[in-house]
């Protein structure tokens, strides 16, 4: 699996780039190390239920889209009429 980060998993002390992959109950969050070793991901996001780590619901984590790609795009100019 090629690791291409799409989101950032944010805890109280750490920000980890992750890749979202659709799973049977929601989305799996692969870190770079998990993607390289092809191991099962520790974290998953379930719709309307939150973030889970190895089957147990955890609090204090949030998921944010990676914004690096949008910063490189030029802004549209407005033309006055």
Average pLDDT over residues 61-76: 69
Q: Are 17 and 63 in contact (CB under 8 A)?
A: no
Indicate the pLDDT class of residue 5, thresholds 50, 70 and 90: very high
* Residue 3 scores a pLDDT above 60: yes
The residue whose two tokens read 């009429």 is 81
Q: Are 25 and 9 in contact (CB under 8 A)?
A: no
Average pLDDT over residues 3-25: 92
Per-domain boundaries in the chain: 7-66
Q: What is the pLDDT of residue 71?
A: 47
Residue 11 CB contacts under 8 Å (≥ 6 apart), including other chains:
60, 61
**pTM for this model (two decimals):** 0.74
């Amino acid at each position: 699996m090629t690791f291409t980060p799409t989101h950032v998993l944010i805890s109280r002390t750490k920000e980890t780039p992750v890749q979202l992959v659709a799973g049977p109950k929601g989305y799996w969050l692969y870190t770079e190390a998990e993607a390289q070793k092809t191991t099962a991901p520790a974290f998953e996001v379930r719709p309307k239920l939150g973030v889970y780590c190895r089957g147990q619901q955890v609090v204090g984590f949030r998921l944010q889209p990676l914004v690096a790609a949008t910063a490189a795009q030029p802004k549209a100019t407005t033309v006055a009429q």
